[in-house]
Amino acid sequence: MQIKPYDPHQLDAVIRLSLRAWSPVFDSIQNVLDAEVYQQFYPNGWRVSQQKAVADVCAAEDTNVWVAMDAGFTVGFVAVKLHLEDSMGEVYMVAVDPDFQGRGIGTALMEFAMDWMKQAGMAIAMVETGCDSGHAPARHTYEKLGFGLFPTAKYFKKL
């Protein structure tokens, strides 16, 4: 497995692996959110909004994106934003194709991103994730890498 800079011709592969990787996450979110709130967030289904979100992140000028390659296939990606005013690097998105999960690719992408942030002069690394069961593997990876949890609560209500 190698980590390389993202190239726009990899967009379809990155979107496909992201949708596959995040399917259990969105199943979990749907189970914990009020149905009307979930529908408001994803009126055309979560896949439509996530496809756009991934495409937007991969094209954003303020985001750096790398892909994990294995045997010529794009099997994961990580997107990083720098917040210079806070000396903080943010892992904005990270995903590994389900067929390649459990092989250390997510950890390698995170370590790569953190090393890059440090070289860019950042003093803090941040990643945000959910507390639902679908995000449990992500939380495990972040905790294994030494990230500390900042407790927060978000409440939603359909108006």
Please, which pLDDT band fits residue 83 given cuts at 50, 70 and 90? very high
Structure tokens at 127: 């990643």
Structure tokens at 47: 């896949």
Does residue 48 carry a pLDDT above 90? yes
Exposed / middle / buried, residue 148 (Cβ in 10 Å: 0-12, 13-18, 19+): exposed
Mean pLDDT, to the nearest integer, of 22-45? 93
Mean pLDDT over each residue of the chain, to the nearest integer: 95
The fold of 2-142 is Aminopeptidase (3.40.630)
Whole-angstrom Cα distance, residue 105 to residue 111? 10
What is the per-residue DSSP string for the chain? -EEEE--GGGHHHHHHHHHHHHHHHHHHHHHHS-HHHHHHH-TT-HHHHHHHHHHHHHH-TTEEEEEEEETTEEEEEEEEEEEGGGTEEEEEEEEE-GGGTTSSHHHHHHHHHHHHHHHTT-SEEEE---SSGGGHHHHHHHHHTTPPP----------
Structure tokens at 58: 């991969």
| 23, 146 contact by CB (below 8 A) | no
In this predicted structure, what is the pLDDT of residue 93?
Answer: 97
Please, which pLDDT band fits residue 134 given cuts at 50, 70 and 90? confident
In this predicted structure, what is the pLDDT of residue 133?
Answer: 84
Does residue 81 carry a pLDDT above 90? yes
| 23, 97 contact by CB (below 8 A) | no
Domain-by-domain residue ranges, the chain? 2-142
